[in-house]
Chains A and B, each alone.
Chain A
């Protein structure tokens, strides 16, 4: 990981033209220069020139970025503003320390194999006390004051059974349980090692703790597409939230742990249904571990080479076909649902994937209706949403309105983070459009067949 001082050349590439003002979502809400990508680069430049120190104002501006990468894509000089900001955050964390609550969570809970699930489990049992359900939506409102969670936040309930827990149970029952049984009917049983396509599934925290059904949907679709899937149970958080807060140390340690978890198996691909995790696995792990020696470098490269987003894997590698998944094409006169698609920042710009998810929508038999600005950030920005809730929802507002004006029945996306954020935003405006992961559209068709 490069530190801020090493990025001075990157910072000097900025000619202060202002092009990024047109795309930066934090600027879009605040409408003052310091909130723009250009302003932030100028501040980092001033910091490196010792015109300012790590002042409160500097810290505030560095925190107000959703890491959407829109600036970088628009910039005629390819200035990597999000990385500059991350390096600034790392600098702040290192010199000033993280706020106590944050550092405790990051250090002791997120980074621990046992504690994180245990804490989350505890929380899932307690959530009935802390939150009240919102009847028409699958969400919760908080009842009491909680640190880190804003007043109006609609939180998805923590799952009763976490995704990885569920996996552990099926494995304990021998083999891959349900999925294994189903596959028996399609092809002769073979041990995982002999399978022609071996895939390791990376869940990520949001799927694990909050939206396990997306994980299940992925497994179902992957197996239907002829692949064998393994879910290493000792996998961890991808570390991107920690990195986003400037905690490079935790992010590194998580990267190593995940590397080890997946190296246990002979895998053709590693896949995830979370755009942010995917971006992290593909790109950030390499950066994080770049100064850990030749051996680690080789390992992380071979790991990163295998990573595919789930949509990329299904469309480009497994080449799924319309006929396998489109139930409706078999029913005469059926009306297809209208689906609009939101491009997650870390998929579209982070991984340059735009077509795959759209093809999946078509394959599922639904009709795609584009919104006006599908690539505009939903405002989540990792932990930005927790620390700057109202700000984050202000960014989301135009997304919610955009979705509404398509008149679509469903809004699909390819990242659990975006799903939670979009659901919350729609809820605030009283819009009932259903929010799904594109893979769910395929999985739904399998059950119904």
Chain B
């Protein structure tokens, strides 16, 4: 609980309109897409870095937690106020400040919705590739904090590959700028990279300078249907080794497809085991050739059918279907343990087979989909939380899956971050000393542990 005095102080900094302490408002800022709830004591809606700086200074003085929040679409609980305190919602800081068509860079506030930014630059013939499936509602600030990626990562990389510079309010209230407005820049340590993916624990991002690309002339979207998942995995390897890099190469297994088929009906004729959703982009001619080549590889490797979207509308439908999968899995069972493991591309087939075996062994429902092109697979174990025994089995299975993944030289989270969801497992991947270095960095920047406490590192 914050004292009345503290609320008054906060109100003075931010204005009456921009602080909320009513129960109803607190409830609306207590959750994110992990479907877990922790009530904050207050929510504030700052307009700029200066206001945030004052709030953080006050927090250091008074010792209350501060938790930055974008759209609350996170999958690891990063924006949850697990220790109460003040949620700093960046919903009001949602302006695209500049789109510089000469230098192909843009400057945005953190609350800008990723998809809206993409459409704005596309109207000018430019391209911002990072495309998390949540792009229509997640914020760029949240993307930076989680280093979000998406289907296009296979060809274009992830958020960190586009962040040139940041304005950040440090946990102690100082405002700093990192990086530069240029593509190169080696002055001092690369604080930009340190901040990207720091899950709102090292500073609150208030401005972001992003790199843009020219919009590809053409794209072609297609999907291939497989009756055996192994053929699909084999096809992925073949496409990559043929030196064609598609702009997306998405994989969906049987159970994932089942959940969305009635959401956006595409009519699948076979006993489908896996789908690949593939997109190529570039010059018109190149795109035609690549699409043909990919079609051939699919058919040669056991695809039962391949369909090419005739127009943008059809392509959009396919993507809608793909993006709906994750939330729609709730149709299988009410609760989802959602992992986003990554393995070297050549190990995808083994990884999926391994995951399926582990799930079967523990008698669990499992659906897998994701970015096959870069080896990032969303492994979902569907459970009913009220069934305690099932939950324990799921925890065991998760551990085994992580062991499997690390054994292949992979990583336990490709894009969703650690937050609170994966906190217990961080030690499986990182060594004691690596964790120590990170904790030291955190301690230097946030000596009073006020910024987003209780995340990433288990307190032992």
Contacts and interface: CB of A to CB of B under 8 A. Distances in A.
A: interface residue count bin = 20 to 34
Contacts of B71: 18, 21
A421 to B, nearest CB: 24
Nearest to A61: B24
A18 B32 CA distance: 8
Contacts of B73: 17-18
Contacts of A15: 33, 35, 327, 330, 336
B338 to A, nearest CB: 10
B92 interface: yes
Contacts of B260: 76
Interface residues of B, number: 37
Interface in A17-36: 17-19, 21-22, 31-34
B113 interface: yes
B137 A57 contact: no
A12 interface: yes
B28 A42 contact: yes
Contacts of A18: 32-33, 71-73, 134, 137-138
A169 interface: no
A17 B115 CA distance: 16
A77 B327 contact: yes
Interface string B310-344: 00000000000000111110110010100000000
Interface string A36-78: 0001001100100001100101100100000000000001111
Contacts of A19: 134, 136-137, 327
Interface string B106-124: 0000000101000000000
A94 interface: no
B27 A31 contact: no
A16 B35 contact: yes
A39 B28 contact: yes
Contacts of B156: none
B29 interface: yes
B91 A51 contact: no
B31 interface: yes
Nearest to B138: A18
A17 B89 contact: no
A32 B91 contact: yes
B24 A52 contact: yes
Interface string A164-203: 0000000000000000000000000000000000000000
B94 interface: yes
14 contacts: A17-B73, A17-B326, A18-B73, A19-B134, A31-B92, A33-B28, A34-B28, A46-B24, A46-B27, A52-B23, A55-B22, A55-B24, A61-B24, A76-B326
Q: Give 9 nearest A-B pairs by CB, closest first.
A: A57-B24, A22-B136, A76-B327, A76-B324, A76-B328, A17-B327, A39-B28, A33-B28, A21-B137
Interface of B: 22-25, 27-33, 35, 45, 71-73, 89, 91-92, 94, 113, 115, 134, 136-138, 260, 263, 324-328, 330-331, 334, 336
Given A33-B29, A77-B328, 6 more contacts: A32-B28, A32-B45, A42-B31, A43-B24, A77-B327, A78-B263
